[in-house]
């Protein structure tokens, strides 16, 4: 009989020890599972790997005269498309003013390009409201509105974020994407002009778009 005291608790249960081999096997199993389901995970977000597939698509909206305009009407020329609303306090009127200036700066080359403004607030931006609002900007800018459903489809196609902000009640605002999407003549996404970019940078991208670069 040993004279050494028993230091283990009365209900001591030995803890299993994992070897490095077991740890490696667990890591390999986890990686194998991720690899197996990777195609499905990527399928949840189609187009995220290629910009061309991520932005753009069919739409059917109304211009300021009430005429139906579809994506087919834009085919054949590159275009720059911006999403906003007439009650916007700063971003939208600033962007539309910039677009007016770009058209003037492009001179004759402006005829080779379309500039488009689509509302994200169809409830207030009726055909009449859009027509009145656009009087302050270059008439060559194509302004479009439509039903709630038609606008929603267009926002999804162009991956545009838009959400109503009710902090001011009836005079609500719309949080929305502020970038201008540059699309090729075939309707493929090229790049963006970010809000606040210099006129020189914006004109450089527009000229490159016109030239097919």
Instruction: Quote the pLDDT of residue 33.
Output: 42
| Distances from the Cα of 99 to the Cα of 32, 40, 47, 72, 165, angstroms | 51, 41, 28, 22, 26
Instruction: Quote the pLDDT of residue 30.
Output: 47
The CATH class that applies to domain 51-211 reads alpha beta
Contacts of residue 207, Cβ cutoff 8 Å, sequence gap at least 6: 106, 109
Instruction: Quote the pLDDT of residue 20.
Output: 54
pLDDT tens-place string over residues 159-203: 999 999 988 778 899 999 999 999 999 999 999 999 989 999 999
pLDDT tens-place string over residues 133-153: 999 999 999 999 999 999 999
Residue whose C-alpha is closest to residue 61's, from 150, 126, 181, 156 = 150
Please name every residue paired with 115 in a beta bridge, in sequence order, or none if there are none.
80, 141
Question: For tokens 């490696």, what's the residue?
Answer: 24
Burial of 65: CB neighbours in 10 Å, binned 0-12, 13-18, 19+: exposed
Are 102 and 199 in contact, with CB atoms under 8 Å apart? yes
Give the range with max mean pLDDT: 16-30, 50-64, 154-168: 154-168
> What are the boundaries of each domain within the chain?
51-211
Query: What confidence category does residue 2 fall into, taking pLDDT thresholds of 50, 70 and 90?
Result: very low
Tokens representing 51?
């910009």
pLDDT tens-place string over residues 23-48: 544 544 444 443 333 333 333 333 33
Task: Return mean pLDDT, the chain.
Answer: 82
Instruction: Quote the pLDDT of residue 44.
Output: 33
Query: What confidence category does residue 19 fall into, taking pLDDT thresholds of 50, 70 and 90?
Result: low
pTM greater than 0.85 (yes/no): no
Contacts of residue 114, Cβ cutoff 8 Å, sequence gap at least 6: 74, 77, 78, 79, 80, 142
Query: What confidence category does residue 11 fall into, taking pLDDT thresholds of 50, 70 and 90?
Result: very low
Instruction: Quote the pLDDT of residue 197.
Output: 92
Mean pLDDT on 51-56: 67
β-pairing, 60-62 vs 68-70, is antiparallel
Give the range with max mean pLDDT: 19-23, 83-87, 166-170: 83-87
């Amino acid at each position: 009989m040993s004279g050494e005291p028993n230091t283990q608790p009365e209900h001591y249960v030995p803890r299993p020890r994992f070897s490095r081999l077991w740890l490696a096997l667990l890591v390999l199993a986890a990686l194998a599972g991720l690899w197996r389901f990777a195609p499905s995970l990527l399928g949840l977000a189609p187009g995220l790997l290629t910009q061309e597939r991520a932005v753009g698509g069919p739409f059917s909206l109304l211009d300021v005269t009430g005429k139906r305009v579809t994506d087919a009407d834009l085919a054949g020329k590159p275009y720059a498309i911006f999403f906003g609303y007439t009650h916007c306090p700063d971003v939208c009127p600033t962007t539309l003013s910039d677009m007016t200036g770009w058209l003037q700066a492009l001179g004759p080359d402006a005829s080779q390009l379309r500039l488009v403004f689509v509302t994200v607030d169809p409830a207030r931006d009726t055909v009449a409201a859009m027509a009145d609002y656009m009087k302050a900007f270059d008439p060559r800018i194509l302004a479009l509105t439509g039903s709630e459903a038609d606008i929603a489809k267009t926002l999804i196609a162009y991956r545009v974020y838009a959400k109503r902000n009710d902090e001011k009640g009836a005079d609500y605002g719309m949080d929305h994407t502020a970038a201008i999407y540059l699309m090729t003549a075939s309707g493929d996404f090229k790049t963006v002009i970010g809000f606040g970019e210099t006129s020189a940078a914006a004109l450089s991208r527009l000229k490159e778009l016109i030239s097919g670069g």
